[in-house]
Amino acid sequence: MAPAAERRTGLGKGLGALIPQTSPAGAAPVEIPISHIKRNPYQPRQHVEQQALEQLAASIAVHGVLQPVLVTETLDGYQLVAGERRVRAAQIAGLDRVPAIVRQMAAKDQLAIAIVENIQRADLNAMEEAHAYRQLADEFNLTQDEIATSVGRARSTVANTLRLLDLEPAVQQALSNGDITEGHARALIGTPAVVQLQLLDGIVARRLSVRRTEELVRRLPDKQASSAKPAAPVDGEMEGLEEDLRRALGTKVSVARSRKGGRIVIEYYSDEDFSRLFDRLTGGNA
């Protein structure tokens, strides 16, 4: 097995690190039959708007496919890495071939590129992005820092997006469908399941704003809000201390104050992450 540093080559530098900017042997775009291209199994986007696809197809019918898609070669053809919308639109436009750059790459690199491409085009909804980050963590054992580097996001953004996976399935579905916004969903994180569902019904039926939703969460009885966000906003000094802890530990840290003290919640996302945090907190003296 290759060393960890070697296995991560290419991550963290965006599409430019994985798609050649010059044309060395084997890297120049070539025309390949669409029928020989299989869908990317690591494609994080689950839904493509038909109207947008048809608009792209109309443009391709006139101008052709201006940007090559990215594929990796397989035993019986090619597997798409980036450019699914272009391939589908080219089919609608009646093309039977598309320009492509052929590269061999690891599965984690294929997923990272698919995420980056969709993020750059704002094609992923929040839940698709969260599931893609979780896949990078679970299947490829990447830490939050490595995920953030590989997709060009701040680590705090990755951590906050992953927290959406803690929401009730009905809330996640509503967010995916566009019935609520990411701001609504974040306001519900940490509240009990029954409260999430009750508030979800109210948000959708009454078209509540994010601010109004946050107010409702803050007004929950102490018993219901015990696992939710702090009732009062964290002041500037405490927010700065939270950020210092996040940087020191390299993971999501939440500080919640109460009348008699408070609590510090340190999150981890794998056994490897737990071991790293344990060593950091104990100085490696178990």
Query: Which residues are annotated as catalytic?
Result: 84
Bridge partners for 69 per DSSP = 100
**Which residue has tokens 């201390």?**
241
The answer to whether 93 and 12 are in contact (CB under 8 A) is no
Distance of alpha carbon 9 from alpha carbon 105, whole angstroms: 10
Give the dihedral sign, CA 170/201/133/246. negative
Q: Which of 181, 233, 189, 237 is nearest to 209 (CA)?
A: 181
Q: Do residues 78 and 32 lie in contact, with contact meaning Cβ atoms separated by under 8 Å?
A: yes
